[in-house]
Amino acid sequence: MPDTSVTSNNWLPAEVATFIARHEARYGAMPLLALDGELDRLVTDHERLVDCDCINLYAGTNIPNPRATALLGSTLGSRPNLGAPGAKYNKGMVHAEQLEIMLSMLLKKLFKADFVEHRVGSGSLANLYAYMATCKPGDAIMAFSDAAAGHPTHHEIGAAGLYGLKVHEVPFDTAKMDVNVDALRDVAKRIRPRLIIVAGSMCLFPYNVAAVRAVADEIGAYVLYDAAHMGGLIAGGAFQRPLVEGAHLMTGSTYKSFGGPPSGVVLTNSPELAEKLDKIAFPGLTANFDLSRTAAMIVAVMDLLEFGSTYAKACVANAQALAIALDKIGIAVFKPSGRDQFTTSQHVALDARSYGGGNAASARIEPANILFTSIGLPLPAMPGDANGIRIGTQEITRWGFKPTDMADIAALIARVLVKGELAASVRPDAMALRHRFQDIHFIRKGAV
Ligand SMILES: *Cc1c(COP(=O)(O)O)cnc(C)c1O
């Protein structure tokens, strides 16, 4: 009998361990035939809920091109694929290896970069690749703090710490939501980091990459721009151009604003860094890698090459309209004191302190089929919860929502957060609004 007692994973909170144990016991009692049915039901119900019935404002997601999703189901990814195209160790790759060349070419064109490493499983691993290419264990690096939406992979608990890096905070100007460059220069001269990371999981305004690069040059450090969230907007030319502005490296996730399959990329104009990244990818950290994602990525990149500019502008227009609509209806939209706009990206931030905290508010509104999450904001802390809420417009933009639709979304959010209406009673109206949008926009129909 498998041990399903809650003591087996007692590092988890008790209610989580109990939840897992209860369902594990339930599945353990099912014959395989019943599990077949359960498998199909869970996938179908998930897709209906999240892809069809929810207004998905989660900043770190998107709806992919169905053609990309279909390619993920090919057997490409199960076939070992070792070494450079043209010199594969395993045989029979004469067709498949061409996909790698095609994707590299397209990514370099999209981001106007000289080199790309796409054999990267995720944005988190892309950051690890960047650390390995620039740092040795024991080196100091600088990264955005939690209050500036720094990512766990930049910090001690994530890839940076697991690789043995010592992490220091990038001083942040909360009035501008940008790097405090003068303070950065002072701290960096003292700490002498090997790497300075710019950007995090919420980017309301572009960062002063050129000034960070100037500081980095004074101390011989590298600059890494983490474009996990901003890949789609950067591709569309609607945010900033980190490599042109001075970043040595740009990493990214490919399933957020990028709108592709779950994967990662690292881009650079430096041949030295590119060679290191190539060797980290193979034979370093991958033997086989998932070529079905390479194929799906080709679809996503072609979408961005054709529609990226209009898509990126539409994401920003929706975010700005949503922020204004939320503000108008009495929601506490976060606006930094040194800015005259709420946002110039796809992200909108809310001050969650009057809504019981970011996690509590996200859980309260979930039964309304409106999805978003918490984030740390440079506001007074909330004990036991996050002080902010983060919203992203990239998915609703691909579903065809326009700035004129944002007042409808704001009204639904206000019914739960401001008027205290039960989320479940708002759900029919949220679903009715969502169902008005049935087609995915900014995607190519493909060769027919
Ligand atoms: C989401 C995110 C990542 C991690 O990306 P994954 O592809 O999910 O591993 C890295 N950095 C930042 C800033 C992120 O927001």
* pLDDT digits 0-9 by tens, 191-227: 999 999 999 999 999 999 999 999 999 999 999 999 9
Do residue 276 and residue 377 come from a single domain?
A: no
Atom of ligand 1 nearest to the CA of 200: 13
Q: What is the mean pLDDT of the chain?
A: 96
In a domain, 25, yes or no: no
Do residue 255 and residue 330 come from a single domain?
A: no
Do residue 159 and residue 242 come from a single domain?
A: yes
Atom of ligand 1 nearest to the CA of 122: 7
Do residue 207 and residue 327 come from a single domain?
A: no
Do residue 215 and residue 334 come from a single domain?
A: no
Cβ 124 under 6 angstroms from ligand 1: yes
- CA dist list (Å): 52 to 63, 71, 395, 405, 409: 10, 21, 12, 17, 16
Q: Residue 40 burial (CB < 10 Å; 0-12/13-18/19+)?
A: exposed
Do residue 116 and residue 150 come from a single domain?
A: yes
Q: Ligand 1 test: best mutation among 157, 201, 251, most atoms within 8 Å of CB?
A: 201
Atom of ligand 1 nearest to the CA of 127: 10
**Residue 428: band (very low, low, confident or very high) from pLDDT cuts 50, 70, 90:** very high
CA of 229 to the centre of ligand 1 (A): 7
Cβ 153 under 6 angstroms from ligand 1: yes
For 362-382, write each residue's pLDDT tens digit: 999 999 999 999 999 999 999
In a domain, 210, yes or no: yes
In a domain, 10, yes or no: no
For 332-348, write each residue's pLDDT tens digit: 999 999 999 999 999 99
Atom of ligand 1 nearest to the CA of 124: 9
Measuring from atom 5 of ligand 1, which residue has the nearest CA? 123
Domain extent at residue 137: 66-301
**Residue 9: band (very low, low, confident or very high) from pLDDT cuts 50, 70, 90:** confident
In a domain, 228, yes or no: yes
CA of 252 to the centre of ligand 1 (A): 7
For residue 63, give the DSSP letter. P
Domain boundary among 301, 321, 344: 301
Cβ 263 under 6 angstroms from ligand 1: no
Res 3 pLDDT > 70: no
Q: Average the pLDDT over 224-250 and give the result.
A: 98
- CA-to-CA distance for 132 and 386, rounded, in angstroms? 32
Do residue 250 and residue 316 come from a single domain?
A: no
In a domain, 39, yes or no: no
Do residue 180 and residue 276 come from a single domain?
A: yes
CA of 302 to the centre of ligand 1 (A): 22
Domain boundary among 301, 323, 354: 301
Measuring from atom 7 of ligand 1, which residue has the nearest CA? 123
List, as own/partner pairs, every contact residues 424-433 make where C-beta atoms lie below 8 angstroms and the sequence separation is at least 24, other chains included.
Answer: 424/367, 424/368, 426/368, 426/370, 427/367, 427/368, 427/369, 430/54, 430/55, 430/368, 430/369, 430/370, 431/53, 431/369, 433/55, 433/405, 433/408, 433/409
Domain boundary among 301, 330, 360: 301
Cβ 261 under 6 angstroms from ligand 1: no
- CA-to-CA distance for 16 and 9, rounded, in angstroms? 9
Cβ 228 under 6 angstroms from ligand 1: yes
Q: Ligand 1 test: best mutation among 124, 249, 265, 375, most atoms within 8 Å of CB?
A: 124
Res 355 pLDDT > 70: yes
Do residue 325 and residue 282 come from a single domain?
A: no
CA of 426 to the centre of ligand 1 (A): 31
In a domain, 28, yes or no: no
- CA-to-CA distance for 306 and 359, rounded, in angstroms? 37
- CATH number at 358 reads 3.90.1150.10
pLDDT at 120: 97
Q: Average the pLDDT over 394-406 and give the result.
A: 98
Do residue 99 and residue 234 come from a single domain?
A: yes
Do residue 247 and residue 364 come from a single domain?
A: no
The residues, any chain, with a CB within 8 Å of residue 189's CB and separated by 6 or more, are 218, 219
∠ CA 181-187-188, rounded to 5°: 80
Atom of ligand 1 nearest to the CA of 125: 9
For the chain, how are helix, strand and coil distributed in percent, rounded to 5?
Answer: 50, 15, 40
pTM of the model: 0.96
- CA-to-CA distance for 370 and 362, rounded, in angstroms? 9
Number of domains making up the chain: 2
**Residue 68: band (very low, low, confident or very high) from pLDDT cuts 50, 70, 90:** very high
Res 144 pLDDT > 50: yes
Do residue 297 and residue 352 come from a single domain?
A: no
CA of 408 to the centre of ligand 1 (A): 30
- CATH number at 160 reads 3.40.640.10
Cβ 201 under 6 angstroms from ligand 1: yes
**Residue 284: band (very low, low, confident or very high) from pLDDT cuts 50, 70, 90:** very high
In a domain, 122, yes or no: yes
Cβ 276 under 6 angstroms from ligand 1: no
CA of 253 to the centre of ligand 1 (A): 6
Cβ 252 under 6 angstroms from ligand 1: no
In a domain, 20, yes or no: no
